[in-house]
Amino acid sequence: MILRENYLKKLIDAKDTEFIKVITGVRRSGKSTLLLMFKDYLINNGIKNDNIIYINFESAIYDDIKNYKDLYNYIKDKIKNDKVYVLLDEVQNVESWEKAINSFKVDFDVDIYITGSNAYLLSSELSTLLSGRYIEIKMYPLSFKEYLLFNNYDNNNIDDKFNEYLKYGGLPAITLIKKNNELVLSYLNDIYNTIVKKDIIDRNNIKDTALLENIIKYLSNNIGSPISASKISDYLNSNKITTKSNHQTIDNYLNMLEKSFIMYKADRTDIKSKALLKTLGKYYISDTGIRNIILGFRNINEGHLLENVVYLELLRRGFKVNIGKTNDYEVDFVAENPNTIKYYQVTRTLADEKVKTRELRSLESIDDNYEKTILTMDKTINNDYNGIKVINIIDWLLQNEI
């Protein structure tokens, strides 16, 4: 197993605190492996096997644990007098599991780590029950830097390797099978179908599966474009794809897609007033490989995929990311953390003067002194326009700085 050090460090830093550690992310992004890495870390640092309880609820071994009472009794019987580390993988498969978690914290000396593949794991009911006693660690597919590491790649022919990353995405298992295109297609298709069926259709008892899949295709084909429920409904109805769509149903489906972690929504914000705008947010997909399996690998729009990659990288680096509006202009990303704000424009090239003028104008319209950057695939020497940086996207992805 190759260490994903950023995520492992977060678990180590939170070890032995009062908080329940909750690892969330799209299926097959590496949550289970991270939990096993942390188990190895515990053993290597003197914790006895008997003081670690690890359960993967996707294993048939634990099929008898169906509800919180079963879970409570199973864990209780394994706890002696010493402190115990409880590691529960895909715990959402257990009915009312949060009641058991809450009881463990009350009744025993435990340090708890859980994973889950949908945001229902942190529903309002759970948040109320645990009342601020948990830390969410959001896990994403491999960054480009991690992709190079997992493949044991150097920086030679880096553009080719980046194009491979755009094509296949960053699910860790892809690095094991990418030499066989048929296996890659089968794997990505299986992951997509599992997410749609288990985390969306079955979880929400959806009847109109065709409408759901058409919404997913629409979002995948319009990454980085302003989206609303009414725009989707108008498109589906006018193209006679369906006549049954309505705004409320589509809004519900969009919410389900976010909770399954297959899609992320970036809201629009007014940069000057800091007000959140309720309309026309943008959607990004959790993995470009999944996007390509939905639409077909021949339908790759590099500009959209570049924007998607940058969005996910900003999330990995710990930023809250919104779309910016300033006067009549739009800024691709407003990235904010407790220490700073950064503004980004993403474009394939600045070779066209009209494109360069447009991208610069959006950033120049921002009346503050925070860092402003244009990310492009250009290999440019002139990398500064009146304080606005121009950085090659690959170079930026390989940077360490936050």
Taken in order of first residue, the domains within the chain and their CATH numbers are: 5-138 (3.40.50.300), 144-397 (no CATH)
pTM for this prediction? 0.94
What does the CA dihedral 18, 75, 200, 194 come to, rounded to 10 degrees?
Answer: 120
Residue 132 has a pLDDT of: 72
Our measurement of the distance from residue 204's CA atom to the centroid of its chain's CA atoms, rounded to an integer in Å, reads 21
Q: How far is CA 378 from CA 76, 97, 254, 373, in A?
A: 59, 51, 35, 14
Our measurement of the distance from residue 157's CA atom to the centroid of its chain's CA atoms, rounded to an integer in Å, reads 28
Spell out the per-residue pLDDT of the chain, length 402, in tens.
688 999 999 999 999 999 999 999 999 999 999 999 999 999 999 999 999 999 999 999 999 999 999 999 999 999 988 899 999 999 988 998 988 998 998 999 999 999 988 887 777 566 666 767 889 999 999 999 999 999 999 999 999 999 999 999 999 999 999 889 999 999 999 999 999 999 999 999 998 999 999 999 999 999 999 999 999 998 988 887 876 678 889 999 999 999 999 999 999 999 988 888 877 899 999 999 999 999 988 766 688 899 999 999 999 999 999 999 988 899 999 999 999 999 999 999 999 999 999 999 999 999 999 999 999 999 876 688 989 999 999 999 999 754
Name residues whose C-beta falls within 8 Å of residue 246's C-beta, 6 or more positions apart in sequence.
233
Name residues whose C-beta falls within 8 Å of residue 354's C-beta, 6 or more positions apart in sequence.
none
- Tell me the HSE value of 199 on the side-chain side, using a 13 A CA sphere: 26
| β-pairing verdict for 263-270 and 320-326 | parallel
Name residues whose C-beta falls within 8 Å of residue 218's C-beta, 6 or more positions apart in sequence.
232, 235, 236
Residue 389 has a pLDDT of: 95
What is the H or E stretch that residue 394 is in? helix 393-397
Q: How far is CA 353 from CA 267, 372, 393, in A?
A: 29, 19, 19
Say how far apart CA 62 and CA 64 lie, in whole Å.
5
Burial of 224: CB neighbours in 10 Å, binned 0-12, 13-18, 19+: buried
Residue given tokens 């960053």 in the structure block: 170
Residue 327 has a pLDDT of: 83
Residue 402 has a pLDDT of: 43
